[in-house]
């Protein structure tokens, strides 16, 4: 077929033109979003100056004081040491919850009888506040790294478990029935149909679990042997050093944002094969 025969008819738009328009629209949208984010950040900084001027530094520190305190904490190694301690607890706790939660969710979602038996217990434990387990964790594991890892695992385990189980249990019924019609075994359906179809739910659970792990790490460092970023928060709060306090909070915000962005990137890459309508 010659090139002339595939040209768009008069009054219609070619595929190349549609793609070009889509790229321009996404670029404009990205520019607008970035501009709005910058304006919002500048507004927050200005609000800090206003609150500091009207209510004093105990209520709200000046942004330049927070910056100076951040430089000091990073330059003398205090922030780096605290970040390393927190990352140790966070990484081990999250990895443990990711492995156990994904495996447990796969079992619950892939085997309905097991899910029916364990569902009341899962719901009961999930609805129990995590703080209720802190005294028990301290008695069993002490006050140091092991106990903190267990606390982070307990906080992030159930979101990962429930999202994984829900994603697998609610896999595309038409694909499952089609596989059964062609004589596919249960294990084949699980690995080739149910698990791939559940990937968005699994990755969403991991993203939620990672965010909860960050919160759980700080709680563990505040309630047990004080160390890491949570320990710095406690020290600054007890001494009413609000500039130091905000410097640590900014690091926690950056850490949570980086983890979430990394998991979102992994979700887009892994789920790129899915057809969207």
List the structure tokens of 45: 């900084």
How many Å apart are CA 267 and CA 203, to the nearest integer? 6
Residue bearing the bigger pLDDT, 44 or 173:
44
> Which stretch, 27-31, 114-118, 251-255, has highest mean pLDDT?
251-255
259 has pLDDT over 70:
yes
Mean pLDDT, range 209-232, rounded to an integer: 87
List the structure tokens of 222: 């505040």
What pLDDT is attached to residue 6? 46
What pLDDT is attached to residue 276? 45
What pLDDT is attached to residue 246? 92
- The closest of 183, 219, 202 to 86, measured between CA atoms, is 219
How many Å apart are CA 155 and CA 126, to the nearest integer? 9
Task: Tell me what the pLDDT averaged over the chain comes to.
Answer: 82
219 has pLDDT over 70:
yes
Mean pLDDT, range 13-30, rounded to an integer: 77
pTM: 0.78
31 has pLDDT over 80:
yes
What pLDDT is attached to residue 199? 82
What is the residue-wise DSSP string for 140-199?
HH-SSHHHHHHHHHHHHHHHHHHHHHHHHHTS-HHHHHHHHHTT--HHHHIIIIIHHHTH
What pLDDT is attached to residue 174? 66
273 has pLDDT over 60:
no
Task: Write the pLDDT tens digit of every residue in 162-212.
Answer: 988 888 887 766 666 666 666 667 677 777 777 777 788 888 888 889 889
How many Å apart are CA 87 and CA 131, to the nearest integer? 21
């Amino acid at each position: 077929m010659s090139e002339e025969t595939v040209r768009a008819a008069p009054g219609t738009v070619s595929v190349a033109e549609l793609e070009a328009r889509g790229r321009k629209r996404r670029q404009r949208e990205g520019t607008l979003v970035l501009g709005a984010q910058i304006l919002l950040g500048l507004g927050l900084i200005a609000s800090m100056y206003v609150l500091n001027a009207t209510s004093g530094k105990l209520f709200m520190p000046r942004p330049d004081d927070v910056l100076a305190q951040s430089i000091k904490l990073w330059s003398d190694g205090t922030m780096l040491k605290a970040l390393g301690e927190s990352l140790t607890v966070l990484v081990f706790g999250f990895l443990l919850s990711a492995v156990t939660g994904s495996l447990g969710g796969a079992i619950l979602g892939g085997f309905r009888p097991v899910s029916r038996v364990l569902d009341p217990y899962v719901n009961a434990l999930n609805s129990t506040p995590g703080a209720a387990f802190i005294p028990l964790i301290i008695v069993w594991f002490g006050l140091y790294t092991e106990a903190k890892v267990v606390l982070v695992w307990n906080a992030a385990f159930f979101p990962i478990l429930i999202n994984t189980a829900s994603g697998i249990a609610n896999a595309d019924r038409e694909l499952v029935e089609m596989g059964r019609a062609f004589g596919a075994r249960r294990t084949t359906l699980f690995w080739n149909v149910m698990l791939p179809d559940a990937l968005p739910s699994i990755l969403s659970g991991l993203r939620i679990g990672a965010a909860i792990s960050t919160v759980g790490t700080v709680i563990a460092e505040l309630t047990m042997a004080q160390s890491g970023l949570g320990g710095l928060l406690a020290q600054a709060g007890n001494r009413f050093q609000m500039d130091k306090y905000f410097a640590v909070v900014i690091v926690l915000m950056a850490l949570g944002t980086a983890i979430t962005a990394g998991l979102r990137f992994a979700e887009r890459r892994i789920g790129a094969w899915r057809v969207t309508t």
